Structure 1
Amino acid sequence: MITSYQYRLKPTKEQIKIIDDTLNMLRCQYNYQLGQRFEWLEQNRCSIDRCSLVICHIPELKDKPNRFSQQASLTQLKKDRTWYKGIHSQVLQEVPKKVEIAFDRWLKGDSNGKRSGKPRFKGKGQYKTFTYPQFKKEHFQKDKIILSKIGTVKIIIHRQIPDGFDIKTISVTKKADGYYVTLSLEDKTVPTVKPDFDANNIVGIDVGLIDFIVTSDDDRIAAPKFLRKAERKLKSAQRRVSRRNISSNRRKKAIQKLGKQHKKVADTRKDFHFKTANNLLKKYDVVTVEKLNIKGLAKTRFAKSINDAGWGQFISILTVKAENAGLKVIATNPNGTSQECSNCGQKVKKPLSQRVHNCPSCLTSLCRDLNAAINIKNRGAHDLKAQIMSSMRSL
C-alpha cells in the first residue's frame, strides 16, 4: 500500500535562503533543458508536402535529447557552474525527468493517449517543488528531518506515521504560507483494498452551480461558492499589489498576502470536497457521476462558477476514497440526462433556465436536477450490471 503524508516545515532564515536558491537554480536548469528539446524539435522537423527534397538542403539530424543524456550533462554543469554543487545530485537529476514527462505528454500523450498543452518556461517563483528520490528513515526523527545540502529542519508532526510504513521519497514544496514536506510512504505487507460493495446500494449525483450536488434520493447540498464569497478580499489584495512599485519589498509582501488569500480559498474548497465525499461513501456503496468535459465547460460564460465549484477535484477525491474503502464510483454518459424523462424515457427539450421537468407523456413533474440524478443512477446501475456480467464471463 502506498500513501503520502504532508507536514509543515519550520526552516531558519539561512535554510529558507538555501531552499529558495535551490528552487531558482532548478528552475533555470528546467528551462535550459526544455529549451534543448524545443531546439531539437525545430531543427529536425520538416513538412514533406511543403519542402522540395531536390532544392532544399537537409541538415544533419541531431540526436534527440532524453532524460539520460541530459542527466549525464549535469556532471559538466557542476564543473562549469560550481554553485550547482550546493544541490544534492539526485535532486538535480529529477529535473530532466520532469522535463521529459512534460515534453512527452505534449507530443505523445499520457497512458490513455490524452495530450497536454505545450510546456512553458517557468518564470521566477514558478518552480515550487523539488524531490529526493531516496531517503533514509533514520533522517526523520521526532520533530526534525535531515535534508541533504540544507541541514536539520524543524517539522510540525500533526499525525504520526503508521507502524510498518517506509519512507520512499520526500518532496519539499514552497507555498504561499510557508514550506511543506510530503512523505511518500509504502508498506508492502498491507494488501490493496479489494472491491466489496452492495450493488443495490447505489446513488446517482448531479453536480451543478446552484446546488453543488443533488442525489437521486433528493438530498441536496448547496454550492458553497468560496471564491465568490472571498472576491471582495481578493480584489482588495490584488489592488494593493498593482499599486506597489515593481521589485519593491512592499510589493513582495502584498503578493505574499494575495497568495495566502488564494490558498485559503483553495484549502477551504478542498476540505468541503473531502467531507462531502466522506458523507456520500458512508451512506452508499456505489456512486454514479457524469463523465463531464470539465475543461470544455470551463471555457463557457460560466467559467468562474465552474472553477469555483471544483467538480474535477471533487470527483477525483471521491474516486480515490472509494477505491481505498473497497467501494465503487462509476462515470456514465452525460448526454441527455436533463432532457430525458426519468419515468418514461421521453425526451423533453427545455432550456437551461427552466428548472422544472414537466413530461407531457406521463405527466411527471419534478426538479430538473433530481430528474437528471435519477437518470444518472439508472445508467450507472446498467453499466455496473454490464461490468459484473463481463467479469463473471471472464472467470
Structure 2
Amino acid sequence: MRIAYQYKLRPTKVQAAEIDRWLSMLCAQYNYLLADRFNWYEQNRSPVNACPLVCHLPELRDNPDYYSQKKTLPELKKSHPHYGDIYSQVLQDVVKRVKVTFDRFLKGDSNGKKSGKPRFKSRSRYKTFTYPQMKEDCLQDNLINLPKLGLIKVVLHRQLPTGFKIKTAAVTKKADGYYITLSLEDPTVPTVKPDINPESISGIDLGLKEFLTTSEGEVVAIPKHYRKAQKRNIVVQKRVSRRKKGSKGRQKAVKQLGRQHKKVADKRRDFHFKTANDLLKKYDVIVHEDLNIKGLSKSKLAKSVHDAGWSSFLSILANKAENAGLLVIAVNPKNTSQDCSNCGTKVPKKLHERWHSCPHCSCNLDRDHNAAINIKKRAVGHSVLKAKSLLSNSRIVLEAYTYCEAEV
C-alpha cells in the first residue's frame, strides 16, 4: 500500500537559500532539456500532405530520449561546476519529468488522453524537486536528513504509520514556506478489499445552493470560502497592482497575495476531507453524477463552480473510499433533476425552480433531493455492485460450507 504524508519544513536561512538556488538551476535544466526535445521534434517531422517531391532534409539526429539526456548530466557538471552541488538523483529526476511531460504530449497517458503542448517554466512556476530514494533512518525525531542539504527541522504534526517505510521525498516551496511530501509504502498491507454492504448505499447530488444533498435528505451547506475572502483578496490584489514592477515592495505584496489564496485553498481542502470522511463513515457505496466539470467551469457559473471545488472533492472521495475498501460509482447525469424519483415521469424544470412537484403522482420534494434519489436508483444493477455482491455471497457460502465440514 502506498500513501503520502505532507509536513512543514523549518529550514535555516542558509538552507532556504540553498533550496531556492537548487530550484533555479533545476528550472533552467528542465527548460534546456525540453527545448532539446522540441528542436528534434520540429526538425524531424514532415506533414504528409505538404511534403514536396524534391526536398533537402537536414542531417537527422537520434531522438533525445530519457537515457541519452541522462548521459549528458556528467558533461553538464563539467561545463557548469555549480550543478555538482545538486544531489545527483534530484538532477536525474528532472530528466524523468521532461520525459513524462513530452510523452503525454505525443502519446497520451495510460488512458490514451493527450495533454497540451508542454510549456517552458518560469522561475516562479518551478517549485518542486524530488529525491527518488531515501534511506530508512532519514527521519530522526523532528529532523530529516536530505542529501547535500543536511538535517532540516520538520513539523511532525502526526506520526508515520507503523510498518510504513519512506520511499521518496519531494520538497515544495509554497507561499507560506517550504513543505516536504513523503511517499510511504508497506507491502504487508493486504490489497484485497473487505466485503462491502451493497444495501448501505447513498446517492449525492452536488450543487451550488447546497454543496451536496443525499438521497436520504441530508444536506451539507456550501461554505463559499472564496466568496467570503473576496473583499480581502481585492484589497491585496490592488496593493500588488500599485507597486512598481521589479521592486521589493511588489515582491512582498505578491507573497502576501499568495498566502491569502493558499489560506482559501487550505480551508476548501479541509472541508472536502471532512465531508468525504463523514459520508464514508455512514455508507459503503457512494453514487454521484459523472459531471463535465471542465465544461461547467467555463460557463457563467465558473466562479461558483471553482469555489465549490467539485473535482477536488470527488477525487478525494474516490481515494479515501479506495483506501477504506469502499466504493464510489459515477452514473449518467442526464435528466436526474427532471425525472420524478417516484414514478419516473419527466417533469421539466428551469434552473431557478428549486422544488419538484410531479402532476402525475403528486410527489413533492426539493429538487436536489429528488435528483439524489434518481442518482441512487441508477446505481442499482451497476456491474461493479453486481460483482461485489456475487463475491460477498460466494464468501458466505464458502464460510458456511467450511463450518459444516468442521462440524462433521
Q: Give the TM-score taking structure 2 as reference length.
A: 0.92
The CA distance in 1 between the partners of 2:262 and 2:92, in whole Å, is 30
The CA distance in 2 between the partners of 1:297 and 1:356, in whole Å, is 22
Quote the residue 1:185 is aligned against.
Answer: 184
How far the C-alpha of 1:129 sits from its partner, in A, is 0.7
The CA distance in 2 between the partners of 1:363 and 1:57, in whole Å, is 78
Quote the residue 2:81 is aligned against.
Answer: 82
Q: Does 1:13 align with 2:23?
A: no
How far the C-alpha of 1:357 sits from its partner, in A, is 2.0
Please say if residues 241 and 254 of structure 1, whose CA atoms lie closer than 8 Å, have aligned partners that are also in contact: yes
The CA distance in 2 between the partners of 1:188 and 1:324, in whole Å, is 14
Which AA in structure 2 matches 1:184?
Answer: S
The CA distance in 1 between the partners of 2:122 and 2:174, in whole Å, is 16
Quote the residue 2:130 is aligned against.
Answer: 131
Q: Does 1:352 align with 2:351?
A: yes
The CA distance in 1 between the partners of 2:43 and 2:389, in whole Å, is 53
Quote the residue 1:29 is aligned against.
Answer: 29
The CA distance in 1 between the partners of 2:266 and 2:170, in whole Å, is 19
The CA distance in 2 between the partners of 1:391 and 1:143, in whole Å, is 45
Please say if residues 195 and 323 of structure 1, whose CA atoms lie closer than 8 Å, have aligned partners that are also in contact: no
Secondary structure of residue in 2 paired with 1:49? helix
Alignment of 1:174-213 (within 5 A): 174-192=173-191, 194-213=193-212
The CA distance in 2 between the partners of 1:394 and 1:335, in whole Å, is 35
The CA distance in 1 between the partners of 2:350 and 2:190, in whole Å, is 49
1:141-166, Cα deviation, whole Å (9 max, x unpaired): 11111211212211112222223221
Please say if residues 196 and 388 of structure 2, whose CA atoms lie closer than 8 Å, have aligned partners that are also in contact: no
Moved more, 256-265 or 2-11: 2-11
Quote the residue 2:401 is aligned against.
Answer: none
Please say if residues 195 and 388 of structure 2, whose CA atoms lie closer than 8 Å, have aligned partners that are also in contact: no
Secondary structure of residue in 1 paired with 2:125? coil
How far the C-alpha of 1:385 sits from its partner, in A, is 4.2
Quote the residue 1:225 is aligned against.
Answer: 224
Moved more, 196-205 or 114-123: 114-123
The CA distance in 1 between the partners of 2:100 and 2:114, in whole Å, is 11
How far the C-alpha of 1:193 sits from its partner, in A, is 5.3
Quote the residue 2:237 is aligned against.
Answer: 238
Which AA in structure 2 matches 1:2?
Answer: R
Secondary structure of residue in 2 paired with 1:382? coil
Distance 1:169 1:385, change over 3 A: closer
How far the C-alpha of 1:263 sits from its partner, in A, is 0.6
Distance 1:78 1:367, change over 3 A: same
How far the C-alpha of 1:106 sits from its partner, in A, is 1.9
Moved more, 385-394 or 281-290: 385-394
Quote the residue 2:405 is aligned against.
Answer: none
Q: CA RMSD in A?
A: 1.9
Quote the residue 1:263 is aligned against.
Answer: 262
Distance 1:119 1:393, change over 3 A: farther
Quote the residue 1:296 is aligned against.
Answer: 295
The CA distance in 2 between the partners of 1:34 and 1:390, in whole Å, is 50
The CA distance in 2 between the partners of 1:379 and 1:221, in whole Å, is 22
Which AA in structure 1 matches 2:24?
Answer: N
How far the C-alpha of 1:358 sits from its partner, in A, is 2.6
Distance 1:125 1:394, change over 3 A: farther
Secondary structure of residue in 1 paired with 2:123? coil
The CA distance in 2 between the partners of 1:162 and 1:58, in whole Å, is 59
Q: Give the TM-score taking structure 1 as reference length.
A: 0.95
The CA distance in 1 between the partners of 2:232 and 2:106, in whole Å, is 41
Determine what percentage of the aligned residue pairs are the same residue: 57
The CA distance in 2 between the partners of 1:387 and 1:190, in whole Å, is 23
Secondary structure of residue in 1 paired with 2:129? strand
Q: Does 1:170 align with 2:174?
A: no
How far the C-alpha of 1:371 sits from its partner, in A, is 1.2
Secondary structure of residue in 1 paired with 2:137? helix
Please say if residues 44 and 61 of structure 1, whose CA atoms lie closer than 8 Å, have aligned partners that are also in contact: yes
How far the C-alpha of 1:85 sits from its partner, in A, is 0.7
1:55-110, Cα deviation, whole Å (9 max, x unpaired): 33233433222111111111111111111111001000001111111111122211
The CA distance in 2 between the partners of 1:267 and 1:149, in whole Å, is 31
How far the C-alpha of 1:388 sits from its partner, in A, is 4.1
How far the C-alpha of 1:5 sits from its partner, in A, is 1.5
The CA distance in 2 between the partners of 1:75 and 1:290, in whole Å, is 52
Please say if residues 193 and 325 of structure 1, whose CA atoms lie closer than 8 Å, have aligned partners that are also in contact: no
The CA distance in 2 between the partners of 1:61 and 1:359, in whole Å, is 70
Quote the residue 1:160 is aligned against.
Answer: 159
The CA distance in 2 between the partners of 1:64 and 1:153, in whole Å, is 40
The CA distance in 2 between the partners of 1:120 and 1:190, in whole Å, is 39
Report how many aligned residue pairs link the two structures: 394
Which AA in structure 1 matches 2:11?
Answer: P
The CA distance in 1 between the partners of 2:385 and 2:179, in whole Å, is 44
Moved more, 15-24 or 379-388: 379-388
Quote the residue 2:398 is aligned against.
Answer: none
Quote the residue 2:104 is aligned against.
Answer: 105
How far the C-alpha of 1:318 sits from its partner, in A, is 0.8
Secondary structure of residue in 1 paired with 2:5? strand
How far the C-alpha of 1:168 sits from its partner, in A, is 0.8
How far the C-alpha of 1:117 sits from its partner, in A, is 2.0
Please say if residues 90 and 132 of structure 2, whose CA atoms lie closer than 8 Å, have aligned partners that are also in contact: yes
List alignment gaps of at least 5 residues for structure 1. Answer: none
How far the C-alpha of 1:219 sits from its partner, in A, is 0.7
1:244-280, Cα deviation, whole Å (9 max, x unpaired): 1112111111111111101100000000001101111
Which AA in structure 1 matches 2:201?
Answer: I
Secondary structure of residue in 2 paired with 1:191? coil
How far the C-alpha of 1:394 sits from its partner, in A, is 12
The CA distance in 1 between the partners of 2:16 and 2:126, in whole Å, is 15
Quote the residue 1:39 is aligned against.
Answer: 39
Distance 1:385 1:5, change over 3 A: closer
Quote the residue 1:273 is aligned against.
Answer: 272
Moved more, 281-290 or 104-113: 104-113
Secondary structure of residue in 2 paired with 1:174? strand
Secondary structure of residue in 1 paired with 2:216? coil
How far the C-alpha of 1:359 sits from its partner, in A, is 2.4
How far the C-alpha of 1:381 sits from its partner, in A, is 2.2
